[in-house]
Structure 1
Amino acid sequence: MVKKNTSSASRRTDIVSAAIEVFAEIGYYRATTAQVAERAAISQPYVYRFFTKESLLVEALEVSWQRIETAFRQVLESASPDTLERGFIEAYEGILAAHGSEILLQMQAQTIREEAVRKTMQEGMSRVKRLVLNAFEEAEMEDAERRTSDFLARGMLCNVSMAIGLPDLMLKK
């Protein structure tokens, strides 16, 4: 059950948190806004005060992308060029452990064809790619473009590993 807040902004956050859980557990197409409302301990009409089902998914995805960007920016504040990639890996592993539902939601969204969802996924992945590429270039890493692609590909493999419960897929560096 999502913790109940009282302000309008907090209630929006509660709704998005509930949607992340519900959509990740049973899938976006099978989930209903009634199930999200129940998880958030509010009425379904209150959900519609803020969101349609699609806009709720888009907001939930944006939360997940922002979490990754924030974690990676925190790494940039303290990492040296030698520890940068390891810092990104550890930050992402922390997200997988603490916010696995958000990653499951992103994985599902990769197959959703609605334009708003595709756009959110494209923009989120592009922002993360740019952040990592810029960091690798500023650290003067050799072949920063290839290393960025490899890093993102490893992240996708980590997602699959977490989703199917097969930790042997995780590559250790």
Structure 2
Amino acid sequence: MAKDATTSVNRRSDIISAAIEVFAETGYYRATTALVAERAKISQPYIFRFFPTKEALLVTALEVSWARIIESFRQVVESASPEKLEKDLIIAYEKILEDHRNEILLQMQAQTIQEDSIRETMRNGFREVRQIVLEAFRKAEIGNPEQSTMLFLARGMLCNIAEAIGMPELKET
């Protein structure tokens, strides 16, 4: 890859990382591309070289956050024994929550945003995670895989809430 192309990819990644932080901390509606640019240590117009709108930037940030969860779950599904599958998925998600807290907070905020592209991105992410977990639970012959999947996803959402409001006791089992 040429140096200019590498720099461009790195800058795009820096912008997405900065956007995740700013959107998670400030909220989508209060966040500005100027704040994102400041966090990324670039000029505001440079953002628009990669993202035509703030909404497009948010969609990409959400896609990155969902991709991290999806990839992590796929790795678990490929390597976990049926007996440890659910526990290993929980551990993988807790690791994401610990290492990429802002991405999870971003997703939580995005659940309330009504723009079609954002809602579709959220639906796609949830749909794919649900499908991965459901298929894995079926393959592992976990009893009532549909209900087990729903409870697994509900527990993940409760973990998100516990993290967001600082109530770790909600995560205790």
Fold similarity call, TM over 0.5: yes
1:151-162 to 2 correspondences below 5 Å: 151-162=152-163
- Alignment partner, residue 11 of structure 2: 11
Separation in 1, partners of 2:172, 2:133: 19
The alignment partner of 2:28 has SS state of: coil
Separation in 1, partners of 2:65, 2:118: 13
Q: Supply the AA of the counterpart residue of 2:10.
A: S
Q: CA deviation at 1:171?
A: 3.4
Separation in 2, partners of 1:26, 1:152: 26
Q: Supply the AA of the counterpart residue of 2:12.
A: R
- Alignment partner, residue 26 of structure 1: 26
Q: CA deviation at 1:133?
A: 0.2
Separation in 2, partners of 1:76, 1:169: 26
Per-residue Cα deviation, 1:75-108 (whole angstroms, up to 9, x for no partner): 1222100000000000000011000000000000
Separation in 1, partners of 2:93, 2:107: 14
- Alignment partner, residue 46 of structure 1: 46
- Alignment partner, residue 126 of structure 2: 125
Q: CA deviation at 1:7?
A: 1.1
**4+ long deviations beyond 4 Å:** none
Separation in 1, partners of 2:24, 2:142: 36
Unmatched 5+ residue regions in structure 1?
Answer: 1-5
Separation in 2, partners of 1:167, 1:142: 28
Count of residue pairs the alignment pairs up = 168
1:104-123 to 2 correspondences below 5 Å: 104-123=105-124
Per-residue Cα deviation, 1:16-52 (whole angstroms, up to 9, x for no partner): 0000000001111001000000100100000011111
In terms of mean alpha carbon deviation, does 41-50 or 70-79 score higher? 70-79
RMSD: 1.1
Separation in 2, partners of 1:81, 1:163: 31
Per-residue Cα deviation, 1:112-168 (whole angstroms, up to 9, x for no partner): 000000000000000000000000001111100000000000000000000001100
Q: Supply the AA of the counterpart residue of 1:137.
A: R
Q: Supply the AA of the counterpart residue of 1:54.
A: E
Separation in 2, partners of 1:122, 1:171: 28
Separation in 2, partners of 1:70, 1:152: 16
Q: Supply the AA of the counterpart residue of 1:61.
A: L
- Alignment partner, residue 59 of structure 2: 58
- Alignment partner, residue 3 of structure 1: none
TM-score (norm: length of structure 2): 0.95
Separation in 1, partners of 2:27, 2:143: 40
